[in-house]
Amino acid sequence: MTWIDPGFPRSATPSDLVGRVLGLNPGMMTGPGTNTYLVGRTRPVLIDTGAGEADYPALFQSYLRERGWRRPERIILTHRHRDHLGGVNQLRELFPGVPVAKMIYRDSGLPEEVEMLENGETVEADGATLIPGHTPGHASDHLCFFLQEERALFSGDLILNGSTTVIPEEDGDLGLYMESLARVQALGVKRIYPAHGPVIEDGPGKIAEYIEHRLLRERQILEALGGGPRTIPEIVKVVYAQVDTRLHKMAGQSVHSHLRKLKAERQVSEETQPSAPSRWSLL
Ligand SMILES: [Zn+2]
């Protein structure tokens, strides 16, 4: 499976209760594009809206027609990133008055009239019940949606299929991210519907793999620091020795997210240097 798969179906009906329309925004960060999901039997709720690509509204409407649906009842968003809420205004033009909600948390510059979605409140679609769960780490406002009838999880960008999640410097937090993974692990989910990539049939397996991957990186970084103080580029050279050097800048961001977590846990210390990268040491 390639991450940016040009053959990824533009729409699909993965279950009785779930339809999928692709946001048509492929790329390094988004894979085949953002998945937008319609949940329910006759009056569906839409999860996420893609990036606002010009061809998305026509694709969305053709999928509605295929299902005999008139419009989405409501739009709910997993988080504030552009590739998830960029299509809100397009859809409001098509479906005037459609309510839009997300967890409003440290937000600025949202589209107008976005309502607050609380952790744990119930979102009823006909025949489907969605429970939002606050799952920060990739973004501080991030929600996953648990679909009770299927014991399935709409994971947003917490869990992807085909890549690992980015923990941005500004709004990301790897410690919170790990807690969020543990939280969804405890739900006992079956399927996962990720915001990027195909459906994950073995939800528990994927969650365990995600947790194990981060724990492995953490062990490797602590090991690299065992030989004495190191800068991030020096750590990357050791830990990502097998990885294409073009990806080392991204890898550096990932290592930094680990180091920030370890620093908060008082496992490592940071020695800043004027006009040179910080040196990190074990405590
Ligand atoms: Zn995101």
Q: How far is the CA of 29 from the centre of ligand 1 (A)?
A: 9
How many A from CA of 225 to the centre of ligand 1? 30
Ligand 1 centroid to Cα of residue 40, in Å, is 24
Torsion angle of C-alpha atoms 104, 194, 192, 260, degrees rounded to 10: -70
d(CA 221, CA 204): 26
Give this prediction's pTM: 0.95
Question: What are the E-state strand segments in 40-194?
Answer: 45-47, 74-76, 100-102, 114-116, 123-125, 128-134, 143-147, 152-156, 192-194
Q: What's the 111 CA to ligand 1 centre distance in angstroms?
A: 17
What is the CB-side half-sphere exposure of residue 207 using CA atoms within 13 A?
25
Phi, psi (rounded to 5 degrees) for 132: -75, 135
CA gap 71, 243 in Å, rounded: 45
At 100 the pLDDT is 97
Q: Give the strands of the sheet with 114-116, arranged side by side.
A: 11-15, 18-22, 35-39, 45-47, 74-76, 100-102, 114-116
Q: How far apart are CA 69 and CA 51, in angstroms?
A: 23
pLDDT digits (tens, 9 = 90+) for 224-247: 999 999 999 999 999 999 999 988
Q: How far is the CA of 154 from the centre of ligand 1 (A)?
A: 13
Of 49, 22, 16, 48, residue with least CA distance to 128: 16
CB 160 within 8 A of CB 196: yes
Give the Cα-Cα-Cα angle 65, 69, 70 (nearest 5 degrees).
Answer: 95
CA of 230 to the centre of ligand 1 (A): 30
Ligand 1: centre distance to CA 254 (Å): 15
Calculate how far, in angstroms, residue 79's C-alpha sits from the geometric centre of ligand 1. Answer: 7
Q: Which amino acid is at 261?
A: K
C-alpha distances in Å from residue 137, one per residue of 42, 93, 134: 34, 32, 10
Q: Look at residue 113 in the predicted model and tell me its pLDDT.
A: 86
Say how many Å lie between the CA of residue 282 and the centre of ligand 1: 31
Tally the C-alpha atoms within 13 A of residue 189's C-alpha that lie toward its C-beta: 29
**From the CA of 219, how far away is ligand 1's center (Å)?**
26
Query: Measured between alpha carbons, how far is 212 from 193 in angstroms, rounded to an integer?
Result: 20
* pLDDT value for 210: 97
The pLDDT of residue 1: 59
Decide: residue 22, CB within 10 A, 0-12 exposed, 13-18 middle, 19+ buried. buried
Kindly report the length of the chain. Answer: 283
Tell me how far the alpha carbon of residue 133 lies from the centroid of ligand 1, in angstroms: 16
107 CA from centroid of ligand 1 (Å): 14
How many helices (H) does the chain have, and how many strands (E)?
Answer: 7, 14
Q: Which residues of the chain have pLDDT under 50?
A: none
